[in-house]
Amino acid sequence: MIRFEDVSVTYDGAAEPTVQGVDFEVPEGELVLLVGPSGVGKSTVLGAVSGLVPHFTGGTLRGRVTVAGRDTRTHKPRELADVVGTVGQDPLSHFVTDTVEDELAYGMESLGLPPAVMRRRVEETLDLLGLAPLRDRSLATLSGGQQQRVAIGSVLTPHPEVLVLDEPTSALDPAAAEEVLAVLQRLVHDLGTTVLMAEHRLERVIQYADQVALLPAPGARLRMGTPAEMMAESPVYPPVVDLGRLAGWDPLPLTVRDARRRAGDLRDQLAGRIPKDNAPAAADGGPAPQGPPAPDHETETGGAGGNPGTPRRRRAFRTRPTPPATVHIADVTALSVRRAHVHALRHIDLTVRPGETIALMGRNGAGKSTLLNTLVGLVAPSTGTVQVGGAPPHRTPPRDLVRRVGLVPQEPRDLLYADTVAAECRAADKDAAAAPGTCRALVTDLLPGVSDDTHPRDLSEGQRLALALAVVLTARPPLLLLDEPTRGLDYAAKARLVGLLTDLAAAGHAIMLATHDVELAAELAHRVILLAEGEVIADGPAAEVITSSPSFAPQVSKILAPQRWLTVAQVRKALS
Ligand SMILES: Nc1ncnc2c1ncn2[C@@H]1O[C@H](COP(=O)(O)OP(=O)(O)OP(=O)(O)O)[C@@H](O)[C@H]1O
Ligand SMILES: Nc1ncnc2c1ncn2[C@@H]1O[C@H](COP(=O)(O)OP(=O)(O)OP(=O)(O)O)[C@@H](O)[C@H]1O
């Protein structure tokens, strides 16, 4: 159904092809998962199937790509639309209508399907993806995950023979991701739909794949095989595979179920080794809650790049030791927020202290982004109070606010306006009234090798996140908020982010991150707050809150339950 014959793609201005010698086939009725580290060219391969590469992106495609017999170099995306449905990384930028129902119907309208068929399929898809309560909503008011569900629904309604999906579950909560993947599997099994999907969170998707296509490194040949064969050699792999390698299990388990069957001996070896109040930082010597970062602390920067996956200590974030503080960085009391007719938050009470890393979790639309936006003053409380650094953020002048709290939004590009990295940094220094060069020094520490002249648009997803983080950190806000910071990041980039945030927390910053990435929460969070329909339904140590939740438990904790392990790193440490 999809055939690549010795394909290479070279973008305009690039010295080398981004992908080369790509030769593979996806048979009808199979789900093939495209796997590889960030920047190896997965989106480029997917784009060559839908025709976006090279028709929209520019550049040169050599070799031949055919989809259902049509050559994508001679057929524009429009001429492939009846066979290929595509979901890209950023749903909002692809929406063409204003409301959920219209968006679900749009693809069918363009294909001229009869109104009765369109009506039936819209209803089916609303039910299938849990979108019925949102059918009349404006797309712009939906939460990130709700938008991603609409984007997926809108490519399903025309019943294309081929689906091309670029990180389709990146904004979905774990349960929604399972539901969407089960729907895809049904289409593959029952209707013979062919699916090619790239995804970084392999723990979510590997068990649904018939085959894995692996791009192991930039410029390397694409290899294809069964998921088990490819995971044995892949440089990126989910925690279940990591644990399997550590324990020497052969064949490697790909699912929690496989691993649980093998884990008896490992559980025996680990019995009694983990402290009851297990927390990731505790395993490494405990969190270091101190006072908030001293305003006059040194800005030590510089240093060479770290080895991906082994975060080095970052000098830039060391602060002078401050005495233990009982200070509250933020206080939220009886907070409720209504947005249009939606109760986005209800009766929230919470306190944030220096040195805490808090993961905010919950289903799509639970109110996580709204809470972060309220803490940073973008949304005002409908009732109740919010105090950050002793003042209500929505009434604090921006110049003062940036020194109390900073938010890295779901789309880091929403924070970046300038044409170059250097200009972005000059603006950040000015906004934060920081010494000239402060932001640039942070960028150097986070992104060694990025040139001043690079346009933020040309940075990779992970690099853009790092720049946005540097912009926010320029003002040294005691409270750092991050909304879904691991979208588009591979495991190595995630490990670097974990290293950085751990250092910031140790330096006394409080960190709150909204995330669906249960593995990230397991590695990083001291405390987890679960939201449901705008209310806090659990608030406590990560080990307690997430290990007891079937949806939010990380793989290792499911495999080794009833013992409360969170990460493979903890197990590795205990065994050694
Ligand atoms: N339109 C474009 N013009 C120029 N270079 C591009 C373009 N699109 C992608 N690239 C470059 O091609 C390389 C591969 O990018 P691509 O997005 O295909 O990788 P990826 O494996 O999908 O990465 P990720 O997992 O981060 O999404 C990157 O270095 C990227 O900067
Ligand atoms: N401007 C708005 N008008 C109406 N409703 C809104 C608006 N913004 C958000 N909402 C609704 O408020 C609720 C909470 O949204 P929020 O973005 O805080 O959820 P979330 O937990 O961050 O979701 P996700 O995990 O999908 O990102 C959702 O039901 C959303 O549709």
**Closest atom, ligand 2, to C-alpha of 534:** 14
**Closest atom, ligand 2, to C-alpha of 362:** 21
The two three-digit tokens of residue 165, written as one number: 């999906």
What pLDDT score was predicted for residue 312? 38
DSSP-assigned letters across all residues of 287-315: ----SSPPTT-------PPPBTTBPPP-G
Testing ligand 1's pocket by substitution, the residue of 42, 49, 164 carrying the most ligand atoms inside 8 A of its CB is 42
Residue 562 CA, distance from chain mean position? 28
Q: How far is the CA of 135 from the centre of ligand 2 (A)?
A: 15
What pLDDT score was predicted for residue 51? 92
Where do we find the tokens 């998707």?
205
| Strand ranges of the sheet holding 535-541, from the earlier edge strand across to the other edge | 405-408, 479-483, 510-514, 357-362, 527-532, 535-541
**Closest atom, ligand 2, to C-alpha of 143:** 17
Q: How far is the CA of 137 from the centre of ligand 2 (A)?
A: 11
314, 499 contact by CB (below 8 A): yes
Give Cβ neighbours of residue 573 (< 8 Å, ≥ 6 apart).
283
Please indicate whether residue 41, judged by its CB atom, sits closer than 6 Å to ligand 1.
Answer: yes
Strands (E), 325-483: 330-339, 342-352, 357-362, 383-388, 405-408, 479-483
ipTM for this model? 0.93
DSSP 8-class letter at 152: H
Half-sphere exposure (Cβ direction) of 572: Cα atoms closer than 13 Å? 12
Radius of gyration of the CA atoms of the chain, in A: 24
What pLDDT score was predicted for residue 290? 41
Testing ligand 2's pocket by substitution, the residue of 370, 375, 482 carrying the most ligand atoms inside 8 A of its CB is 370
Give the number of the ligand closest to the Cα of residue 12.
1
What average pLDDT values come out for the chain (576 residues) when binned by 10 residues?
Answer: 95 89 95 90 93 90 94 90 88 86 93 93 92 92 92 93 93 91 92 94 94 91 94 92 94 94 92 60 38 36 31 38 61 94 94 94 95 96 95 92 92 89 94 90 78 82 83 92 87 84 90 94 93 95 86 92 88 88
List the one residue out of 541, 484, 479 whose CA is nearest residue 366.
Answer: 484
DSSP 8-class letter at 548: T
Query: How many residues are there in the chain?
Result: 576
H helix intervals, 416-562 = 421-431, 438-446, 461-473, 491-506, 518-524, 542-547, 555-560
Half-sphere exposure (Cβ direction) of 367: Cα atoms closer than 13 Å? 26
* DSSP-derived pairing of the beta strands 510-514 and 527-532: unpaired
Q: How far is the CA of 12 from the centre of ligand 2 (A)?
A: 39
Please indicate whether residue 144, judged by its CB atom, sits closer than 6 Å to ligand 2.
Answer: yes
User: CA separation (Å) from 519 to 245, 253, 552?
Assistant: 18, 17, 9
What pLDDT score was predicted for residue 307? 31
Answer left, alpha or beta for residue 389, where phi above 0 means left and psi between -120 and 50 means alpha. left
Give dist(CA 350, CA 529) in Å, integer.
Answer: 10
The full set of domains in the chain, from first to last, is: 2-235 (3.40.50.300), 316-542 (3.40.50.300)
The two three-digit tokens of residue 251, written as one number: 């064949």
What pLDDT score was predicted for residue 314? 40
Please indicate whether residue 218, judged by its CB atom, sits closer than 6 Å to ligand 1.
Answer: no
Give dist(CA 167, CA 159) in Å, integer.
Answer: 20
Task: Give the residue, by CA position, lying nearest to ligand 2 atom 19.
Answer: 365
Which pairs count as long-range contacts for 342-349, CB under 8 Å and 24+ apart, including other chains?
A: 342/141, 343/533, 343/534, 344/370, 344/534, 345/370, 345/371, 345/374, 345/534, 345/535, 346/533, 346/534, 346/535, 347/384, 347/535, 348/384, 348/534, 348/535, 348/536, 349/536
Please indicate whether residue 91, judged by its CB atom, sits closer than 6 Å to ligand 2.
Answer: no
List the one residue out of 141, 150, 145, 198 whose CA is nearest residue 173.
Answer: 145
Peptide bond into 324 cis (omega under 30): no
What pLDDT score was predicted for residue 326? 62
